[in-house]
Chain A
Amino acid sequence: MSSLEIIIFIPFLAALAIWLGAPARLTAVVASTVNLLWVIVLAVRFPAFKSATDLAFVNKHVVLDNPAIAFAVGADGVSMIMALLTVLVTFAAIWQIVDKPSMYHISSLLISGGALGAFLCTDLFFIYAFHEVALIPTFLMIAIHGRAEKEQRLAVAWKTTIYLGAGSLVLLAGLVWAVIEFSGGGKLTFDLVALRAQAASSPLPAAAQAPLFFLLLVGFGTLVSLFPFHSWAAPAYATAPTPVAMLHSGVLKKFGLYGLFRIALPLLPSGAQVPWVQQALLLMLLGNILVVGLVTLHQKRLDDMLANSSVMHMGYLFLGLAAGTEIAVKGSMLLMFAHGVSIALLFAICGRMRNQLGTLEMAKLGGIGSHAPFLTVVFAFGAFASIGLPGLANFAGEVMIFMGAFANGNSSSTLIPAQGLTALHWTVILALWGVVISAVYMLRGYRAIFQGTPQTGLFMSDPASGQWLPLVLLAAVLLAVGCFPSLLLDLIQAPLVPGAIP
C-alpha cells in the first residue's frame, strides 16, 4: 500500500468514524493534522523518491482489463503541490468553530478526501470519480446549511448543481474522446501516464487538437468558473458555510485547472495555441478579469466581494494556460497554490465576522482594526496577497505568468514579433489593469471594515488563542512561499510543457 493511498483514505475513514459516532471534532482534527504532517513529509522526500517518469510513491490495483482501468496512485511535483494545498486548507477549515460539528466535519473530510484522490490518482476514471464524490457534500452543505433563507439557498444549490453537473458531463465527453484518441490503436486505457506517453510519441496535428482542447476547456473551465460559465460560483461561495467555501474555492475548484494543465496540456500541447482556441480563451479570461473584476467592484457585502474576486482571479490562471510557456505554466502552479491559501484565509475571517457581527454589509461596518488587531493583520495578509503584493505568494505566480507571456526563458528568443505586440501581450496588459481593479476593491473593503471610527453597536473581538493557529499558519505559508518560491518551484523541476527545453 502506498502512502498516497493511506492519505486519500484517512479523510474517508475519519468521516465514516464520525458518522458511526466517534467524537466529531477530535476525530476530524486528528485526521487533518496527521494528513497535513504526512503530506509535508512526503513533499520533503519527494525529490529523492521520484522516478525517471517524475512520479513518486506509485501503486496500482487493476480494476478492469478492457478498457484498462486501475486504481493507480502516483505523485508528480504538481500533484504534490496540490496535495499540500488540500491538507493545509482542510486543516484550517476543520479548525473553524461550527454549530453542527459532525455534519460539517463529515462534509469537510469528504471534500478533502475527494480532492486528494483527484490530485493523487493517475487514472482518468478515478480522477473524475473522486472529484464527483467531493462535489456531493458541497451541494448538500449549501442546500442544508447555507447562509441564506431556505428558498434562496436551495436555488443557489440547484444552480451550482446544474452548472457543475453540466460541466462534468461535457468534461466526461472530452475525457472519453481523449481516451479513444490516445489509446494508441490497441485496447482503451484510462492510464494517464500511458496516454501522455502516447501523445508525446505520436501527437495529433495541431488543427485536430483544437476541438478536443476546446471541449476540455469548456468542461474543466465550468468547474473553475471560466467566463461566461461562471455565474454559479459567486452566489455559491457567498452562501456556502465557511468551511465549505474555504475548501471549494481554495481547493476543489482548482481541480479544473489541474485537469487543464496536467491532462489537456500534455495531451494536446498545441491546442491552446491554435488561433481560434487562443482567441476564444483570451476573450473568456478577459471576461473573468475585467467583467467580473468590475462586478466585484460593485459589491456591497464582504462575502459577495470575496466570492466574486475569487472568480476574477481565475482569469490569471487561464492566462498562464494561454501563454503556454514553461515559465508561465510553472507560475500558474504557484498561483494555484497561492490563491487557494489566500482565499481560504479570507473566507475563514469572513465567516468569523458573519458570526460575530451579524452583517457583512460594508457600509454598516468600520473601525474593526481598533478592537481586533490580530484579525486585521491576518486579513491584511490575505487581502494584500490576493492583490499581488510582492513578498506574498500570489505575486510570485502572477509575475511569472506575465513574464512567461513575453519571453520563453534566457536562452530562446523574444516572443515580441517585429511588427508589434500580439493579442496575448495586449491581454497581459489588460490583465495588469485588473491588478489595479483588485487593489481598488480590496482596499475599499479594508478601508470600510477595518479602518475609520468603530461603529457603535458592532463589536468584533480577536479569537481566543487556540483559534489563531490555522490563520497564522495560512498567513505564514503565504509569506514563506512569497519570499522563497523555490520551496514549491523545486518540486516541479521537470518540464511541464511538452517539448519545452528541459
Chain B
Amino acid sequence: MALEDLAMMRSVHGSTVLYPSDAVSTVHLVKAMAETKGISYLRATREKVPTLYGADETFPIGGSKTLRSSDSDVATIIGAGITLHEALKAADTLAGEGTNVRVIDLYSVKPIDWAAIVSAVQDTKHIIVVEDHWAQGGLGDAVASILADANVPMVKFTHLCITEMPRSGTPQELLEKYGIDAHAIVAAVKAGI
C-alpha cells in the first residue's frame, strides 16, 4: 500500500503509469508494458476483487473503460483499482434509487484518456474522482489537469482521496474511515444534484 507512488511515477519524464482494476486488465497491461519504451509502472492491488472484463477486451495504454453510462447520467465517477469497485457499488445503489451515473475505469493514469474525460464533462457536469492516494499527484490531479484546460467547459469537481494519516484496519474499515467507499461516493453524487 502506498499513497505517493502514482505522484512519484507520473512525475518521471516519459513514464507510463497503469492501475488496473481486475485480473484480465492486469494481464493485458503487463503484456503492454513489456512492449513499452521508457519507465513504466503498474500498481497491482492486494485485495481479491471480481473479474470485470471478458477475455476478448482490449486495454490500450492511454485508454479507459466506461462501465456504466446512460443518457441521463448526473455525474461521472472515475476510479481505478480498489476504488473502481466502490464506484460500481455506488452506481448500483444510485440506480436502485433512480439516479444514473457514469463510471470510468481509469486504468491508464498516464497517458490519460483525455477524450473520455472531456465527453464525461460535457455529458454529466459533475466529475467525481475517487482514489486510494494522497490528494496530490494521483488520479485526481491527472483528471483536474484536463478540467483546467481552457477548451474544457467548467464543471463541478469532487476529489475523494486520503486526507489524514491512515492507521491499521480491514480494507473495508479503511475505505469507509477515509471517505473513499461506496457510501462516500453516493453522498458526493447526491451533494452535486
The answer to whether A and B belong to the same complex is no
